[in-house]
Structure 1
Amino acid sequence: MFTRITLLAFLFIFFLSPVFAQQQLLFFQTDWGNNLSMDEFLKRTKNDGYNGIETWFPFSQDVQNELKAGLEKYDLKVIFLHGTNKGLPYAEALKVYEENLQKIITWNPVKINSHTGSDYWTLEENKAFIDITTIASKESGIPIVHETHRSRFSFNVPLTVEMMNLAPELRLNLDISHWMVVHERLIDLKDPLLQQILPRVDHIHARVGFAEGPQVNNPAAPEWKSALDTHLDIWEHIIRNSGQEVYTITTEFGPPPYLPTVPFSNVPIADQWEANVFIMKAIKARFAND
């Protein structure tokens, strides 16, 4: 027979303790390569079980109005992409980056994902962009993450670790598919440098890369099982160890030429949308028994 103290302890453990709190995963669909109308894209996104979309911020007022109405209609959230314009002189690029960031913040998105800096600039030059986002994130309360991406400050693993040491408040969006091709190997969970990076990851771009490219042709194909499992292991580790009650993931298989095509006809050899839904379901399956 339970004593009153035992009963209270039981109730605390199973109903109040955060150890038993189930993490909520929020999935976002990319609009990269989308050819549907805004309404059809958002409707299909909702019907396939996504919680929102990730898109570059539209500076056209008409597109903003259409997007806002569509998100409300289908009860979808939004993560906005933002980026450094590497085609501008450095000082101008820094100025435009900050101005556009402030415009995005007015929308109060779930997160802002930044393509930050350039692989042609020094660590200190790239850090200036990160410093802008650190201040903006604290002032707005909106999480701002910096994507691990080729041609940016974070194009490889060692330089990303260096930037982490230089910018201790840096938070990341991990798209590890880029690093698989940059380092020409499947980087696995045991990699010591990667282990330093994973605690900084607050958002995931879920695409499967391999030693010779940033995107396998079809993640459901059995020949890519090793690559798929390597990515899933890393993503699951990040999510489970993040300490976040709500974790965001964007499925980001892209269109041609990221998606290979048949020579001469240029017909895609797989379906981009199906690949993204497959990845969403594969991640969900890792947490199905929680």
Structure 2
Amino acid sequence: MEIEFYIPRWGNRHLSWTDFATKAKLSGYAGVEANLPAEEEEQLDMFTQLNANGLRWIGQHFETATVDFAAHVKQYEARLYALAAAKPVLINSQTGKDFFTFDQNSELIALAARISKETDVRILHETHRGKFSFCTSATAPYLHQFPDLRLTADFSHWCCVAESYLQDQQEVLQLAIDRTDHFHSRVGFPGGPQVNHPAAPEWKEALDFHCAWWDAIVQRHSTLKTKTLTVTCEFGPYPYMPQLPFNQEPVSDLWEVNLFMKNFLEKRYADLSD
């Protein structure tokens, strides 16, 4: 099984697409996870630079935010169709709202499933604060309701919401792992969604918990003989990355942190490569 590592556009928007794509390629990433730019000129620039550097693209949806549900459905549908038309490896969607009803979020999940089938583009739903999947107990009913619902696992969010490493929620956690087709390798902790640097010894416990979950995902796909598993090294900028007081300098270099995660996991899973 091949494991492909992606770098997020999030946190790197200070770089031009030329510089970003070149840096990603030189750093050994297989591709980029990013939303579809609204402006056609930037879309052209993005795809030109990705293609020039042989980088693949995971489409990201996070923009639909309106609280009016009827408008939300229309905007969500339009964005998914636009992403699917651009033919990404897959679409990672931050879907729904934590305050929408079960039926409302279910309508969005069903809509995504229909668009996925119609366009032949996989649509995964990220475990994310503020969305239908903001915690284990909220997500479980949707996983039971929709047997084909597939996830992007970002368990850092669940650690933050639960203020724990989910030790007492193993059943739901295992269900989520079984439904995961892509994951974000960000390390959270009971006080927040992102440690300041995963290599720091004081965060070993947090890293170990996340590695156990990622190992389970990787092992499951290896057993299923999945050809390619994708991982996005998704540590992010402020407010995810803490800042020093008064001068607002980040406490760690974001690119270096994500590159550490890629290199760490590449070494960890090297024996699974064909």
Task: Classify the TM-score, shorter chain.
Answer: over 0.9
2:208 corresponds to which residue?
Answer: 229
Greater relative contact order (CA < 8 Å, ≥ 6 in sequence): 2
What is the CA-CA distance between 1:277 and the residue it aligns to?
0.8
Q: Give the alignment partner of residue 235 of structure 2, picking from 253, 270, 276.
A: 253
Aligned ranges 1:110-125 → 2 under 5 Å:
110-125=89-104
1:214 maps to which residue? 193
CA pair 189-173 structure 1, distance change in 2 beyond 3 A: farther
Equivalent-residue separation in structure 2 for 1:247 and 1:183 (angstroms): 27
Residue of structure 1 aligned with 2:58, choices 57, 65, 79: 79
Task: Give me the whole-angstrom Cα distance separating, in 2, the residues matched to 1:88 and 1:162.
Answer: 22
Q: 1:128 aligns with which of 107, 112, 120?
A: 107
1:141 counterpart residue number: 120
Listed one character per residue, the Cα deviations across residues 198-242 of structure 1 (whole Å, up to 9, x for unaligned) are 111011011000000100011110010111111111112102202
Query: What amino acid is aligned across from residue 32 of structure 1 in structure 2?
Result: W
Q: Match for residue 266 of structure 1?
A: 248
Aligned residue type for 1:207 = R
The 2-side partners of 1:29 and 1:187 are apart by: 27
Deviation at 1:190, TM superposition (A): 7.9
Work out the CA distance in 2 between the residues paired with 1:206 and 1:189: 22
Q: Counterpart in 2 of 1:96?
A: 75
Aligned partners of 2:153 and 2:176 also within 8 Å = no
Deviation at 1:49? 0.6
**TM-score, scaled to structure 1:** 0.89
Q: In the alignment, which of 28, 40, 44 is matched to residue 49 of structure 1?
A: 28
Q: CA deviation at 1:85?
A: 2.2
- Aligned-partner residue type, residue 229 of structure 1: D
Alignment correspondent of 1:201: 180
Between the two proteins, the alignment pairs up a number of residues equal to 268
> Cα offset for 1:197?
1.5
Separation in 2, partners of 1:59, 1:135: 24
Determine if contact 1:84/1:117 at 8 Å carries over to the other structure: no
Matched, 1:283 2:261: no
Q: 1:274 to 1:168 in 2, by over 3 A?
A: same
Is the alpha carbon distance of 1:65 and 1:58 closer, same or farther for their aligned partners in structure 2, counting shifts above 3 Å?
same
Q: Distance in 2 between matches of 1:190 and 1:120?
A: 22
* Inter-partner Cα distance in structure 2 for 1:103 and 1:193: 33
For the pair 1:31 / 2:9, whether they are aligned, the reply is yes
- Three-state SS of the structure 1 residue aligned to 2:271 is coil
Tell me the percent identity. 39
Runs of 4+ in 1 over 6 A off after TM superposition: none
Deviations, residues 156-200 of structure 1 (Å, cap 9, x unaligned): 101111111112221110000000010001125981221122111
Give me the whole-angstrom Cα distance separating, in 2, the residues matched to 1:190 and 1:106.
38
- TM-score normalised over the length of structure 2: 0.95
C-alpha displacement of 1:83: 3.4
Query: Structure 2 counterpart of 1:177, which letter?
Result: S
Residue type at the aligned position of 1:270: S
Largest Rg, 1 or 2: 1
User: Which deviates more from structure 2 when the two are superposed, residues 137-146 or residues 36-45?
Assistant: 137-146
CA distance in 2, matches of 1:186, 1:145: 23
1:192 and 1:84 map into 2 onto residues whose CA distance is 31
Consecutive unaligned residues of structure 2, counting only runs of 5 or more, are: none
CA RMSD of aligned residues (A): 1.4
The 8 Å contact of residues 188 and 234 in structure 1, kept in 2 or not, is answered as no
Supply the distance in 1 between the matched residues of 2:69 and 2:169 (Cα, whole angstroms). 37
Amino acid at match of 2:244: V
